[in-house]
C-alpha cells in the first residue's frame, strides 16, 4: 500500500518509448496492491497501471500470471492484461525491478457490498472458472491447505501474544479442518484465491474489473468461492455475518457454473479453511511487524471470529469471541 | 507521501453528489503532497484531485489558499483551483477532515531539470508574482527569517547528533545571514515559498501546472526566487551546483519581471537563507522521526552543503563538507 520504488519522469518517459502507447502526459504513484509499487500512467493515447514487482511477488511467477491474464482477456473476461511492447514482450525491467505496463480498468472497489454487487462478483468468478477450463499452466497454492500447519508452527506459541490461548484453539480448528478436507471429486482449476471486494472493480452493480491476481494458483474452485464468501459476507471485525450477501454471492456463482452435491457439502470446510488461512497469514504479519511501524497491521482475529460463525462448534473456544 | 485517511467508494460517491461533476468512475489514493491524503478521482465528466487535509495544514488557512488559487486561475495562471459545489462552497468536510475537490492538471514533475525547463519555471514564477500584485489577503511566512532562530534553538545541541559541530556552524551562518537580511526597498507579495521541481508539472519544456501552495505566504519575491534556485540548481546531495540551470531560472524570471539592482544584490543572502530554512526544517524532522519509521527522512545536510556553494566563506566551516 505504498510506493517502494520511485520512478522519475525521465526514466518513465524513456521506458514508454518501447511501447506503441503515445507519450507520457501524467503519472502518479498509487497506494494499491500488496507489496508492489504501482503508478497510474497517462499517455497521449490512453491510461495504464505501471507495476514494479517488489520482493513479495517472485519474478519467476510473472510469466504464469501474465499468461493467465492474457488467457482471460482473450475470452472477454474483465481482467487487466499486460501491454506488449513493440517486440511482443510483456515483462520488463525498470529501476532494477521486474515491471509490467498494464491495462487500466475503470470502476471502484466497494467497502460495503450489497447483495446485488455480491451476486455480480459471484457471477464474474464463475465465468472466470469456466474460461480457465482450457488453461494449461499450473501454479501451486503456496498458501493452500498443505501450507497451513507449517505456517502455524512457524508462528508457534507467539500466537498467544495476540490473544492468550490462540495457539491451542487455532491448532484444534486446524486439525479438525485438515482431517475433514478432501479434494476427491471436487473440480480444480486456476483460481484467484484472494477475491476480496478490494480486488473487484464495479460501476453500480456491474463488475468492470477483477484485479490483483498475484495469489492465483491451482486449487479447488469451491475454495475460491469460500475465500470470497469469507471476504464479502462479514463486517470488517468478523463479528457480523450478512446472509443476504453470502446467498447472493453463491447463487450468482451457481447461476453461471453450478456446484454438484459433493461440492456443496464440502463448501463449509473450505470456508472454515479460508478463515484459518487468513488468520495465519495476518498473524504472521502481526507478529513480524513492529507495533510502531507506519504500516497498518491487519487484525488477525477478524478472520478467526468468522470461523466461529461458520462452525458453531468453534464458538466454544474461548479465543473465538 | 501516503494516504492517511481511507475514503470508501460509498462515501466518495455520496460526497460527489454535492457537485455538478458527474458520477464516480474510478479513484485511487496517490502518494503525493506533504502530509495530506490525496486521491485521483475520475467521474463521468472529468478528473479531479481530492485532498483531505491532515494536521500539517491548518484548517484556518484553507480560505487563504483557496482564494489565492482562484485569483491565480482567474488570471490564466496554470494552478489548480478548488471546484465549488452547487452552492458555491469550495471547502468541505469528508471523513472528519477538511476536504477540497481540486482541478486535475496534466504534466509530470521532472527529477533532473534542464536549463530550458528551469527557464520555463522562472517565467511561470514571475508571471504568478505579477498576477498577485492586486491580491490583498496576506499570510505570515511561518517558516520565514524571523522563525529560523526559534526553530534553531528548538533543535538545540541535538543538531550535533546529525553531524558533530553543526550547532555552532549553523548558528554562525544564521547570525551572519540574519544580520545581512533587510527587506528595505525589496518587493513583497504572496509567494509560493516551496517551488521545488516536485511542485511544477511540465510537458516537455512547458509548465502545465504549479501545485502544492500550502506554504504560500507573504514575503520577498526574491526569496521565492532564491528558494527555487536552491531547489532546482543542485544535485540531490547538494554537492554539485548547475550554473546553467541557475542562470536559466533567473533569466527566465527576469524576462517576465525584472529585479532592480538592490534586489539582485540581496539575492545571495536570500539564497543562503533558503538553505538555512530547509536545513532547519529537515533537521527538525530528522531529529523527531524514529530512524526505523517507514517514512524516508530527508538528509538535512543536502541543504547545508548548498550554503557553502553560495557563500565560500561558509566553506571554511567543517560541517559544510
Cα separation of A191 and A215, whole Å? 9
Q: What is the per-residue pLDDT across B169-206, written as a single tens digit (0 to 9) for each?
A: 999 999 999 999 988 889 999 999 999 999 999 999 99
Q: Which of A163-167, A212-216, B56-60, B118-122 has the lowest mean pLDDT?
A: B56-60
Distance, CA of B225 to CA of B219 (rounded, Å): 11
H-assigned helices in B22-144: 62-74, 115-131
Model ipTM value: 0.88
Q: What is the mean pLDDT of chain B?
A: 93
Set of chain B residues whose Cβ sits within 8 Å of the Cβ of A292: 290, 292-293
Confidence of residue A316 (pLDDT cuts 50, 70, 90): low
pLDDT, position B295: 60
CB contact at 8 A, B78 and B87: no
Rounded to whole angstroms, how far apart are CA atoms A190 and A192? Answer: 7
B261-304 residue pLDDT tens: 999 999 999 999 999 999 999 999 999 876 655 566 788 999 99
Annotation: CATH topology of A9-103: Phosphorylase Kinase; domain 1 (3.30.200)
- Provide the pLDDT for residue A117: 98
pLDDT exceeds 60 at position A293: no
Q: Cβ of B293 under 8 Å from any chain A Cβ? A: yes
pLDDT at A34: 62
Of A111, A201, A292, the CB nearest to B10: A111
Take residue A101 and report the three cell numbers written for it.
505496463
Question: How far is residue A13 CA from its own chain's centroid?
Answer: 31
Mean per-residue pLDDT over chain A, rounded:
93
Position A222 scores a pLDDT of: 97
Nearest to B250 by CA among B269, B280, B230: B230
Intervals of CATH 3.90.1200.10 along chain A: 115-316
A255–chain B nearest CA distance, Å = 27
Contact yes or no for A224/A191 (Cβ under 8 A): yes
Q: Transcribe B108-139 into DSSP letters.
A: B--SS--HHHHHHHHHHHHHHHHHTTT-----
Q: What confidence tens digit (pLDDT) does each residue in B125-166 have? A: 999 999 999 999 999 999 999 999 999 999 999 999 999 999
**Cβ contacts (< 8 Å) between B110 and chain A: which residues?**
8-10
Are residues B31 and A295, on separate chains, in Cβ contact within 8 Å? no
For residue B13, which residues of chain A lie inside 8 Å, CB to CB? Answer: 108
Q: Is the pLDDT of residue A59 over 60?
A: yes
The pLDDT value given to residue B291: 64
Residue A171: the pLDDT is 95
* A106/B295 CB distance under 8 A: no
Compute φ and ψ for B285, nearest 5 degrees.
-65, -40
Phi, psi of B223 (to 5 degrees): -70, -35
Nearest CA in chain A to B114: A10
Judged by CB atoms closer than 8 Å, whether chains meet at B8 and A40 is answered as no
Q: How many CB pairs under 8 A join A and B?
A: 88
Instruction: List the 121-180 stretch of B: residues with Cβ below 8 A of A.
Output: none
- Measure Cα distances from A196 to A33, A86, A110, A177, A227 in Å: 12, 34, 10, 22, 8
Residue A290 scores a pLDDT above 90: no
pLDDT of residue B56: 72
Instruction: Name which of A106, A78, A96, A111 is nearest A37 in CA terms.
Output: A96
Nearest residue of chain A to residue B31 (CA atoms): A29
| pLDDT confidence of residue A56 | 72
Nearest-Cα distance to chain B for A66, in Å, is: 23
Cβ atoms within 10 A of the Cβ of A253, count?
27
Q: How far apart are CA B254 and CA A91, in angstroms?
A: 47
Q: What sign does the dihedral A121-A123-A124-A130 (CA atoms) show? A: positive
Position A318 confidence tier, pLDDT thresholds 50, 70, 90:
low
The secondary structure of A105-130 as a DSSP string is ---B--SS--HHHHHHHHHHHHHHHH
Q: What is the pLDDT of residue A317?
A: 61
Under a CB-based contact definition with an 8 Å cutoff, are residues A191 and A315 in contact?
Answer: no
Q: Are A250 and A126 in contact (CB under 8 A)?
A: no
Beta carbons of A30 and B42 less than 8 Å apart: no
B210 neighbors B200 (Cβ within 8 angstroms) = yes
Q: Write down the pLDDT at residue B321.
A: 52
Angle separating helix axes A261-287 and A148-155, nearest 10 degrees: 30
Distance CA B72, CA B137 (A): 13
Which CATH architecture fits A115-316?
A: Alpha-Beta Complex (3.90)
Contact A26 B292 (CB under 8 A): no
The answer to whether residue A107 neighbours chain B at the CB level (below 8 Å) is: yes
Share of chain A above pLDDT 70, in %: 94
For A25, name the nearest residue in chain B, comparing CA atoms only: B107
Candidates B4, B7, B31, B103: best to mutate against A (most CBs of A within 10 A) is B31
pLDDT at A291 exceeding the cut of 70: no
Residues carrying CATH 3.30.200.20, chain A: 9-103
Which residues pair with residue B176 across a beta bridge?
none
Cβ pair A107:B27 closer than 8 A: no
Q: B29 and A30: CB-CB below 8 Å?
A: yes
> Is residue A110 less than 8 Å (CB to CB) from chain B?
yes
Residues A54-85 as b or e (16 or more Cβ within 10 Å = b): beebeeebbebbbbbbbbbbeeebbbbbbbbb
Contacts of B103 (CB under 8 A, 6+ apart): B48, B49, B73, B80, B81, B82, B83
Q: What mean pLDDT do residues A10-27 have?
A: 97
Given a contact cutoff of 8 angstroms between Cβ atoms, the answer to whether A287 and A293 are in contact is: no
Share of chain A above pLDDT 90, in %: 84
Asked whether residue A112 carries a pLDDT value surpassing 80, the answer given is yes
Share of chain B above pLDDT 70, in %: 94
Confirm or reject contact between B288 and chain A (CB < 8 A): no
Amino acid at each position: 500500500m505504498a510506493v517502494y520504488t520511485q520512478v522519475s519522469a525521465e526514466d518513465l518517459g524513456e521506458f514508454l518509448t518501447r511501447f506503441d502507447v503515445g507519450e507520457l502526459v501524467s503519472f502518479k504513484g498509487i497506494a494499491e496492491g500488496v507489496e508492489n509499487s504501482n503508478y497510474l500512467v497517462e499517455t497521449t493515447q490512453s491510461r495504464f497501471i505501471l507495476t514494479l514487482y517488489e520482493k513479495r511477488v517472485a519474478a519467476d511467477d510473472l510469466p504464469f500470471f501474465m499468461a493467465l491474464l492474457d488467457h482471460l482477456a482473450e475470452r472477454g473476461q474483465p481482467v487487466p492484461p499486460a501491454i506488449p511492447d513493440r517486440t511482443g514482450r510483456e515483462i520488463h525491467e525498470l529501476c532494477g525491478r521486474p515491471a509490467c505496463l498494464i491495462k487500466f480498468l475503470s470502476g471502484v472497489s466497494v467497502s460495503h457490498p450489497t447483495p446485488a454487487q455480491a451476486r455480480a462478483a459471484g457471477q464474474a468468478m464463475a465465468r472466470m472458472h469456466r474460461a480457465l477450463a482450457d488453461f494449461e499452466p499450473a501454479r501451486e497454492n503456496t498458501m493452500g491447505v498443505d501450507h497451513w500447519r507449517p505456517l502455524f508452527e512457524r508462528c508457534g506459541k507467539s500466537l498467544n501474544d495476540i490473544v492468550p490461548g490462540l495457539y491451542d484453539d487455532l491448532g484444534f480448528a486446524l486439525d479438525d479442518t485438515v482431517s475433514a478436507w478432501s479434494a476427491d471429486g471436487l473440480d480444480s482449476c486456476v483460481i484467484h484465491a484472494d477475491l476480496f471486494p478490494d480486488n473487484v472493480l464495479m460501476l453500480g452493480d456491474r463488475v468492470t474489473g477483477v484485479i490483483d491476481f498475484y495469489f492465483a494458483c491451482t486449487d479447488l474452485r469451491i475454495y475460491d468461492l469460500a475465500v470470497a464468501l469469507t471476504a464479502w459476507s462479514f463486517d470488517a471485525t468478523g463479528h457480523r455475518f450478512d446472509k443476504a450477501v453470502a446467498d447472493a454471492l453463491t447463487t450468482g456463482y451457481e447461476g453461471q457454473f453450478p456446484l454438484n452435491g459433493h461440492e456443496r457439502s464440502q463448501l463449509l470446510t473450505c470456508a472454515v479453511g479460508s478463515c484459518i488461512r487468513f488468520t495465519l497469514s495476518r498473524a504472521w504479519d502481526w507478529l513480524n511487524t513492529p507495533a510502531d511501524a507506519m504500516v497498518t497491521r491487519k487484525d488477525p482475529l477478524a478472520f478467526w471470529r468468522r470461523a466461529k460463525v461458520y462452525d458453531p462448534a468453534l464458538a466454544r473456544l474461548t479465543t473465538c469471541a
